[in-house]
Structure 1
Amino acid sequence: MKIGFIGAGKVGTSFGIYLKNQGFEIYGYFSKTFSSAEKSAKLTGSKAVLDETDLVKSTDILFITTSDDAITKVCDDLVERNVLSEGKILVHMSGASSSNILKRAKKSGCFIYSMHPLQAFADIEKAVDDLKGTYFSIEGDKEKLHVLEDMLKKLGNPYFKLTAEQKSIYHVTACVVSNYLVTLMDYGLYLFDTIGIDKREGYKALLPLIEGTIKNINGLGTKDALTGPIVRGDVGTVKKHIEELKNLEHLGTVKQNIGVLDFYKIMGVKTLELAKKKDENKDFEELKNILKEVE
């Protein structure tokens, strides 16, 4: 089974290396810039091609690993050039979209799928290593879905089978726990910065707390891992937090559309909802009123 990639960025290159390391045959890469295709081809022991036609005709599975916005255009271009053959397996690796964005290829007799690794691809070497324990999602035509399942089983990766309708919520979840976690960290480090603690040094100081929290979530689940003043019902501490954040805003240090106090309250309300699940008998009404109070 020969595999080809249109798109030689971090995702396509990392996944290609990972496949090659596990014994799969990578035929080659096509990219907007030939130098990118050459680089990925060298790393995977494959070839760089100047024309997608060669790639399409010489492979059994074709992965489109371009930017999300370019996937449909790439697919439509292949259809319009009449280079797709009946029975070809066409897979995109976007987490945001279902296989439906390849629907024109389906009309050409192709089987269409989305396959998404639930991890970040900031660095190729780290991504390849991380792929060993990564969950995937797969979604698309029933006829050849077993081919992708067999691939993931050979790789040793666990996976979810989704419907096209489920793909958006799947991606929302990934964005919240990954992208929004970065934003949450930036918020906390900003607060450290206001009292003179360097953000890099602050991160090092907070890292044991972060790692401990992640371990608790893994071992106990989110509800039982929750600690802090809100779940304790510590009204005085929350009031003090709010007063301090008000002072920051009054000093004019906050330039965001949503200020540090608003952000604290939004997160506080969501945390309160979780706290109620942990202790259904505790009266959180006063905290609820404080956190929902309109300035």
Structure 2
Amino acid sequence: MIIFGFAKCKFSMDITIIGYGKLGRALALENLKQGNLYAIVSQHLGNTTDGETFRKENVLVVQNLEDLPGVSDVIFICTADRDIPKVAQNLAQRFGKALESKVIIHCSGSYSDKILEDLKRAGSFVASAHPLQTFYFYRPDIFQNIFWIVQTESFEKIEGVLRKIGGTPIQVEFDDRQRAIYHASAVVSSNYLNTLILFAKKLIAQIPFDPKVFIPLIQQTLENNFVHFSEPNFLPLTGPLVRKDLATIEEHLKSLDSKPELQQIYLEFAKITLLLCREIEILTENEFKEIVEKLKVYKI
């Protein structure tokens, strides 16, 4: 549970948050804590408990950009990716010349600062700034020392804003392909890691056993990977696949005969692991083919 009621403090910039998803909410709470939150634009905040809390702290809570009486020094766009171009267009139409020298940041990992070109023409300092963090749960220190991947022609301006909330900005110049690869890596590092952990919990749920027993194993596995994390081919893999212990793998699969959906997911993870082991030469091509051949009965 989040406890609200932050003390206001002096700050040189006031901030508007557009969009109130996980990131928008976290940014709103952080800037409320620092005393520089001017407004939140969200069609869903309305008369919620959060909305009432912000209004009690003299924060404007509005549904549409048209309802804002003025433009703040800094605007964070935290909407869905598909909505960013429309938000930028609406800002330009709503505020026009008043946007000159304002800082406008979108937080999508998928798009560069070019998507805010209309606002740049209006005289704003624009940027793409993607925080490398997950915001499923808010905590007071969640922005401390996290990396923000920033693409902009105004890095010093953007850097100042992000450092004031505890961030560490990293400037990049990605082309479209590089940005897509970067964002795919972020998605795998967080979203798909969640998927893997959920699958482990789904497996253990088939028997009467407390899944929390696995937490130290997961933690140690992550720590093992961090040891040489900058080395793209480092894989601290143990277990039956790397030992080529196919009898054990087959026992795993047979135990899931009554749960074909779980069996198929297990096979997919095994296949991914085999492909990567071949790629980094933990397995030779012949060893890879031999294992795949023996598991063909399960349509790997």
Contact (CA 8 Å) 2:77, 2:106: kept in 1 or not?
yes
Please report how far the alpha carbon of residue 50 of structure 1 lies from its aligned counterpart in structure 2 after TM superposition: 6.1
Residue 280 of structure 1 aligns with which residue?
Answer: none
Residue 9 of structure 2 aligns with which residue?
Answer: none
Residue 272 of structure 2 aligns with which residue?
Answer: 267
Mapped partners of 1:56, 1:87: distance in 2: 18
Q: 1:254 aligns with which of 242, 260, 263?
A: 260
Q: After superposition, what is the alpha-carbon deviation per residue over 1:46-77, rounded to whole angstroms, capped at 9, x for unaligned?
A: 33346535748341111112222222222222
Mapped partners of 1:228, 1:289: distance in 2: 19
Return closer, same or farther for 1:121/1:220 CA change in 2, 3 Å cut-off: same
Please report how far the alpha carbon of residue 39 of structure 1 lies from its aligned counterpart in structure 2 after TM superposition: 4.3
Contact (CA 8 Å) 2:155, 2:171: kept in 1 or not?
no
Contact (CA 8 Å) 1:16, 1:44: kept in 2 or not?
no
Q: After superposition, what is the alpha-carbon deviation per residue over 1:11-45, rounded to whole angstroms, capped at 9, x for unaligned?
A: 12311332444x46222222224336834734865
Instruction: Tell me, yes or no, if structure 1 residue 151 matches structure 2 residue 161.
Output: yes
Mapped partners of 2:39, 2:291: distance in 1: 56
- The range that moved more, 44-53 or 157-166, is 44-53
Instruction: Tell me, yes or no, if structure 1 residue 212 matches structure 2 residue 223.
Output: no
Contact (CA 8 Å) 2:65, 2:94: kept in 1 or not?
no
Structure 2 gap segments, 5+ residues each: 1-12
Q: 2:75 aligns with which of 62, 65, 81?
A: 62
Mapped partners of 2:264, 2:157: distance in 1: 49
Residue 46 of structure 1 aligns with which residue?
Answer: 59
Return closer, same or farther for 1:91/1:98 CA change in 2, 3 Å cut-off: same
Instruction: Indicate the structure with greater helix content.
Output: 1
Question: 1:217 is paired with a residue of what secondary structure?
Answer: helix
Return closer, same or farther for 1:159/1:183 CA change in 2, 3 Å cut-off: same
Please report how far the alpha carbon of residue 169 of structure 1 lies from its aligned counterpart in structure 2 after TM superposition: 1.8
Letter in 2 for 1:4: T
- The range that moved more, 30-39 or 144-153, is 30-39
Please report how far the alpha carbon of residue 146 of structure 1 lies from its aligned counterpart in structure 2 after TM superposition: 0.7
Sequence identity percentage? 27
Residue 203 of structure 2 aligns with which residue?
Answer: 191
Mapped partners of 1:107, 1:101: distance in 2: 12
Please report how far the alpha carbon of residue 85 of structure 1 lies from its aligned counterpart in structure 2 after TM superposition: 2.6
Please report how far the alpha carbon of residue 156 of structure 1 lies from its aligned counterpart in structure 2 after TM superposition: 3.8
Contact (CA 8 Å) 2:146, 2:166: kept in 1 or not?
no
Mapped partners of 2:195, 2:163: distance in 1: 35
Contact (CA 8 Å) 2:41, 2:65: kept in 1 or not?
yes
Return closer, same or farther for 1:35/1:266 CA change in 2, 3 Å cut-off: same
Contact (CA 8 Å) 1:268, 1:291: kept in 2 or not?
no
Structure 1 gap segments, 5+ residues each: 278-282
Q: 1:31 aligns with which of 39, 42, 46?
A: 42
Q: After superposition, what is the alpha-carbon deviation per residue over 1:93-146, rounded to whole angstroms, capped at 9, x for unaligned?
A: 12222222223323333332111211112123x3x4322232211112x1x321
Give the TM-score taking structure 1 as reference length: 0.78
Q: CA RMSD in A?
A: 3.1
Q: Tell me the matched-pair count.
A: 275
